[in-house]
């Protein structure tokens, strides 16, 4: 992962996670957002270390934004402002 990459923690069957993944794809953010499926131990461990308790969750290098509404709001800042420090 590069420093400008955001990490989206999700589960495939989780409907709120699908909302976040769809936002990434619909706004062509695939080059900025790394999908981290919690079906994999490493992803689940990293999510837990960041304080994860709700999905989807977006790690921006500083904060873990949890829940579909918070994740989409953070992603909107990337789209609207073209920056990662929102």
DSSP for 9-33, please give it.
Answer: EE-TT-HHHHHHHHHHHHTT-TTTE
The percent of residues in the chain predicted with pLDDT above 90, rounded, is 84
**Looking at residue 62, what DSSP letter applies?**
S
CA distance 56 to 17: 5
CA angle 64, 27, 55 (to 5 degrees): 30
Q: Are 12 and 37 in contact (CB under 8 A)?
A: yes
The pLDDT assigned to 83 comes to 52
Is 0.95 topped by the overall pTM? no
For residues 31 and 66, what is the distance between their CA atoms, to the nearest angstrom? 21
pLDDT band at 26 (very low <50, low <70, confident <90, very high): very high
- The reported pLDDT for the residue numbered 40 is 98
Query: What pLDDT is recorded for position 82?
Result: 61
């Amino acid at each position: 992962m590069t420093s400008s990459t955001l990490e989206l923690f999700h589960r495939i069957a989780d409907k709120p996670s699908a909302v976040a993944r769809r936002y990434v794809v619909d706004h062509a953010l695939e080059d900025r957002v790394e999908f981290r499926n919690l079906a994999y131990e490493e992803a689940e461990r990293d999510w837990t270390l960041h304080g994860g308790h709700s999905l989807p969750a977006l790690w921006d290098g500083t904060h873990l934004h949890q829940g579909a509404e918070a994740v989409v709001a953070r992603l909107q800042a990337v789209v609207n402002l073209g920056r990662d420090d929102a």
